[in-house]
Amino acid sequence: MKLTLILGLLPLALISSATTAEARYQENMDPNGFVKNLESDYGLVDDDAKTNQSALLQKAINDVAAAGGGRLIIPKGTYRFAKVYLKSNVHLLIEKDTVIKPHWAEGTKTVVFILDFEDTSGKGPRQRGNEFIENVSIRGLGGRFIVDYSDRERREDEGIRTVLCRMVRNFLISDLDIKDNFTVYCGLTMTPTRSRNENVKHWEISRATDGTIRNCRIFNASPGYGLVQLHGAQSLHFEDLYAKGGVTLRLETGAVGYHTAVYDITAKNITSENGRCAVMLGPHSANNGLVHVDGVTSKSSTYAVTIGRGNVKKAEQARNPDAKPGRFADGCSIKNIHAIFGQDAQVKTHEMMNIPEEYYDDLRLRKVTKFFDGPSIGAVKDYTNGTYRVDIENVTLEGFKYNADKKILTPEDARPGKWGQALRKWKADRGIPVEPKRASDSGK
């Protein structure tokens, strides 16, 4: 399948015409219609994020929705928000260089913006029905806005997402910079319904559907996370995404539950720098549909693209004893891939048998000790072992001493041996405490 979208960053007055074959979001915002300003109409205060003004923003969103929809403008300033629900037909326009800091208590997990039906019935999320919101957007006005939690040190009992998308149809997220500090979770997360109804095929939607995410970046992302993660999505397009650290576009469908899977995903111009990779496919136990990506660049990342075989998480096996390893549909494609070698990649310790031994002295163990900072390894890593097929086209490498002639690396390209043993020896040779041997150390 050939991708056809070339989507520019258009002036606000021209946004209504910015729809093409791959722009899954269909513009319904009237640039001359109903509008409110959060400062002049609701009393928003630019107080350098000293107070939590989430209730004020939520009231304004609810009012605009009650009026039939429209635009809500947040003028330039520094504010604190969290757990803000968008409502149907509301478009949040955030002025360029505005800084949003999350209201985030210690020892908790939070999210800034939620694109999901807000259930006030008291039934709880797992009993929810098929309600959803639609025709919504969060976008910059005149340029990118910023969500900043770079002042928070990573803690395993904490986590944050900038945007969580679940039961939403026809949505746009654009013009966003996220300043991270290696925290838990990806900046943007797409998920399915949490309903316990096993059969949702008759629902209009059951996951984030018909969306476009473009012109978004994250800085200092954790190697275990990144910019975007997809657990549940249908007909989404991603364009002009960048991550410094982590994975830029993470199609790792690892959420435990009935409805985890992604279908009909397209992407263009996905870039990773000093991270793990730009595009990752990891099905776990989900049976996913087609994914087509055109334009992948890695700069000093471990790989540009990684493609993994399915596996069943222990939690999923406990929930569903019949669960089997998942896959992506045959015929997925990733093309126009360029990998640039560097020494500041986030390299998982499991890669010991893929890292050229010449580079062992260049490895620096991170605080999260499952990862090194170290050299790039290659362009494409395909560890599917034939369980499904992804068509790879036009791969180029720049600056690589090793693997320059191997555009796609498979398990056969790894050195013989066990990564866990190699890691323990590497640590012992450098006087680093060595953990006891684990049964999983033989895995790749």
- The model's pLDDT over 361-399, given as tens digits with 9 standing for 90+, comes to 999 999 877 999 999 999 999 999 999 999 999 999 999
Range 65-73 average pLDDT: 99
- The model's pLDDT over 242-271, given as tens digits with 9 standing for 90+, comes to 999 999 999 999 988 889 999 999 999 999
443 vs 188, residue with greater confidence: 188
Residue 25 forms part of a structural domain: no
Percent of the chain with pLDDT over 70: 91
The total number of structural domains in the chain stands at 1
Strand partners, 166: none
Residue 5 has pLDDT above 50, yes or no: no
Residue 230 forms part of a structural domain: yes
Average pLDDT over the chain, rounded to an integer: 92
Residue 419 has pLDDT above 90, yes or no: yes
Residue 13 forms part of a structural domain: no
Residue 406 forms part of a structural domain: yes
Measured CA to CA, the distance from residue 220 to residue 236 in angstroms comes to 25
Residue 22 forms part of a structural domain: no
Query: Containing domain of residue 204, as a range?
Result: 33-442
pTM check: above 0.85:
yes
Range 232-248 average pLDDT: 99
CA distances from 257 to 231, 280, 289 (A): 10, 21, 17
Structure-token pair, residue 153:
């040190």
pLDDT given at position 198: 81
CA distances from 110 to 23, 248, 300 (A): 29, 21, 31
CATH number at residue 125: 2.160.20.10
Residue 168 has pLDDT above 70, yes or no: yes
pLDDT given at position 213: 99
Q: Residue 381, Cα to own-chain centre: how many angstroms?
A: 19
Residue 27 forms part of a structural domain: no
For the ranges 22-31, 42-51, 347-356, 424-433, which has the lowest average pLDDT?
A: 22-31
Residue 1 forms part of a structural domain: no
- The model's pLDDT over 343-370, given as tens digits with 9 standing for 90+, comes to 999 999 999 999 999 999 999 999 877 9
CA distances from 436 to 372, 373, 440 (A): 19, 23, 12
In 3D, which of 63, 76, 9 has the Cα closest to residue 34?
Answer: 63
pLDDT given at position 435: 76
pLDDT band at 100 (very low <50, low <70, confident <90, very high): very high
Asked if residues 61 and 84 have their Cβ atoms less than 8 Å apart, the reply is: yes
Residue 122 has pLDDT above 80, yes or no: no
pLDDT given at position 124: 64
pLDDT given at position 257: 85
pLDDT given at position 349: 97
Residue 2 has pLDDT above 70, yes or no: no
- The model's pLDDT over 286-339, given as tens digits with 9 standing for 90+, comes to 999 999 999 999 999 999 999 999 998 888 888 888 888 899 999 999 999 999
Measured CA to CA, the distance from residue 442 to residue 21 in angstroms comes to 46
pLDDT band at 127 (very low <50, low <70, confident <90, very high): low
- The model's pLDDT over 142-159, given as tens digits with 9 standing for 90+, comes to 999 999 999 999 999 999
Residue 8 forms part of a structural domain: no
Asked if residues 384 and 311 have their Cβ atoms less than 8 Å apart, the reply is: no
pLDDT band at 219 (very low <50, low <70, confident <90, very high): very high
- The model's pLDDT over 14-25, given as tens digits with 9 standing for 90+, comes to 333 334 446 699
What is the C-alpha radius of gyration for the chain, rounded to an integer number of angstroms?
22
